[in-house]
Structure 1
Amino acid sequence: MKTRVLTAIVALIIFVPLLVIGHTPLLILTLVLGIIGISEILRMKHRFFVSAEAMISFIGVVVIILPNNFWQDIPWVNSAHIIFYILAFFLLLQTVFSRNHFNFDDAGTLTLAILYVGTGFHYFFQADSKGLSTVMFGMLIVWITDSGAYMVGRAIGKNKLAPKISPNKTWEGSIGGSLIAVIIVPVIYTLCHWLPTYSLIDMFGLALVLSIAGQLGDLIESGFKRHFGVKDSGNILPGHGGILDRFDSMLVVMPLMAILGMLG
C-alpha cells in the first residue's frame, strides 16, 4: 500500500502541472504515454521493441495522437488516416516477409491496438483545447466512479459483474460507483460555474454515459489482459501496474466526449 500511495503522489506531481500548463508540454507527455501504452501491448504479444512490427506500431500511435492541425501544411497528407492506412498496409506486408513469425492475427491485433491507444490519447490531448475544466470533467468521472465502485463493492457487493474477466467487480459496485459520480461531479461543476454551456440536467446525463463508458473501458482492458494471461499491462508504475492499467477508462471516455460534442 505504501508503494502504491508513493507512486500515486509522484505521478500526480509530474502529471498535474503538465495538465495545467497544457499545449506542447502536455502533448509531449501524451506522446510518451501513448508510446509506453503500445509497448505494453507489444510486450504482452512477446514482440521485440526493435522488430519491424514494433517500429510500425510506435510510429502509428504517434501519428494518431498528434493534433489534427499538425498535418495541415504537409503536402499530400490532410489527415492522420492516410498515414495510418499506409502503416496498416506495412503490417500486412510483414505477414508476407516474416517467414510465418508474424501472422494476420498479429497484424490485426497491432492495428487495432494502434487505433485504440492512439485515438484515446489523441482526444485526451484535444480536450486541452477546450480548457482544463473539460479535461477534468472526464477524469473526475473516471476517478470517482472507480473509487465509488470499489467502496460500494467492498461494502455490499455480492453479484459478480463479469466473473470470467474481472472476478472482483460486482453489479452493486458498478451501479453504486456510477450513481456517486453522477451525483457528485455535476453538482461540483454547477456550484463552481464550470462548463457553463451545459445545464445541470445535461451534466447528469453526460456523467451517467461517461461513467458507464469508463467502466466498459476498464472491462475491455481486463479482457485483453485475461486473453494474454497477465495480471497487469506493465510495471512502470509500482503498485499500479502499467499505463494502460491507469488510463484504460480514459481511452474510452475521451473519444466518447468528442462524439458527444464536448471537445468542439
Structure 2
Amino acid sequence: MFTRVITALIAVALFIPLIWIGSWPLVIGMAILAVIGLSEFLHMKKMKMSSPPAVLSLIGVALMVLSIYFPILFAVEVFSRIIILTMVLLFLYSLAFQETTTKDVAEMILMMIYIGIGFYAFVSLRLTNVSLLVLILLVIWATDSGAYLIGRKIGRTKLAPAISPNKTVEGALGGTVLASVLVFIFLQYFPQSEHVFATFLLMVVISITGQVGDLLESKIKREYHTKDSGTILPGHGGILDRFDSLLLVLNVLFILGVV
C-alpha cells in the first residue's frame, strides 16, 4: 500500500503540471505515454520491441498523437493516413516474414488506433476545454474510488465474474453515484454550457463508460494471461492499467465529436 501511495503522489506531481502547461510538453508527454501503452500490449503478445512490426506500430501511435500539431492537413486526415500506411507496411512485412501473421497485424493496428485516438483526444480536449478535461478526470477518479470503497464495504453481486471477479454491481453503482454528486457540485461553480442537465447526463454516461473501459482492459489482460499490463508504476501496474477507464471514455468522446 505504501508503494502504491508514493507512486500515485509522484505521478500526480508530474501529471498536473503537464496538464497545466499544455502545449508541446503535453503533446510530447502524451505521445510517450501512448508509446509505452502500446509497448505494454506488444509485450503481452510476447513481441520483441526491436522487431520491425513493433517499431512500425510504436512510431505510428506516436505520430497519431503528434499529428495534432501537424500544420498541413486536419489532424484526423493526417492520422487516418498514418493508420493506413502502418497497416500496409505491416501487411507487406507479414508477406515477407511468415512469423508475423495477419492476426498479429490486426491486433497491433486495433490497439494502435485505440491508444492513439485516446491520447490524441486527451491533448485535443486540453487545448480546447481544460475545464471539461478536469471534470472528466474528476468523474473517472470519483468513479474508480467510489467503486473500490463501496464495493469492498457492501459489494455482494458480482458484476463480471468471468472478467474481473472482484468488481461488484453495488460498487459500480456506488462509483457512479459518488461521481454524480461531485459533478453536481462542480457544475454549480464551473458550468460547461447553458445546458447544465445535458452536461450532467453526459458525465453520468462517462462514469459508466469508464467502468466498461476498466472491464475491457481486464478482458485483454485475461486473454493474454497477464496480471498487469506493465511494471512502470510500482503498485499500480502499467500505463494501460492506469488509463484503462480514460482511454475508452476519450474514444467515445472522439466519436461524439466532443474532441
1:230 equivalent in alignment to 2:226:
yes
Q: CA deviation at 1:60?
A: 1.2
Q: CA deviation at 1:182?
A: 1.5
| Counterparts of 1:182 and 1:88, CA distance in 2 | 41
1:134 equivalent in alignment to 2:136:
no
Quickly say closer, same or farther: Cα 1:228–1:78, change in 2 above 3 A: closer
Per the alignment, in what secondary structure is the counterpart of residue 79 of structure 1? Answer: helix
Deviation per CA, 1:54-109, whole angstroms, max 9, x where unpaired? 111111101221244515269xx95221221011111112221223x111111111
Deviation per CA, 1:209-250, whole angstroms, max 9, x where unpaired? 101110111011000000000100000000000000000111
Q: TM-score, normalised by structure 2?
A: 0.94
What is the one-letter code of the residue matched to 1:79?
V
The residue that corresponds to 2:210 in the other structure is 214
The residue that corresponds to 2:252 in the other structure is 256
Contact conserved, 2:114 with 2:251, CA < 8 A, in 1?
no
What is the one-letter code of the residue matched to 1:187?
I
| Counterparts of 2:239 and 2:47, CA distance in 1 | 18
The residue that corresponds to 2:5 in the other structure is 5
1:156 equivalent in alignment to 2:130:
no
Per the alignment, in what secondary structure is the counterpart of residue 167 of structure 2? Answer: strand
Contact conserved, 1:186 with 1:200, CA < 8 A, in 2?
no
Where structure 2 has 5 or more consecutive residues not aligned to the other structure, the ranges are none
1:42 equivalent in alignment to 2:42:
yes
Where structure 1 has 5 or more consecutive residues not aligned to the other structure, the ranges are none
| Counterparts of 1:97 and 1:137, CA distance in 2 | 48
User: 1:99-138 to 2 correspondence within 5 Å?
Assistant: 99=98, 101-138=99-136
| Counterparts of 2:31 and 2:8, CA distance in 1 | 20
CA RMSD of superposed structures (Å): 1.7
Q: CA deviation at 1:261?
A: 4.3
What is the one-letter code of the residue matched to 1:142?
I
Q: CA deviation at 1:194?
A: 4.1
What is the one-letter code of the residue matched to 1:193?
F
- Most deviating of 250-259 and 36-45: 250-259
Identity %: 42
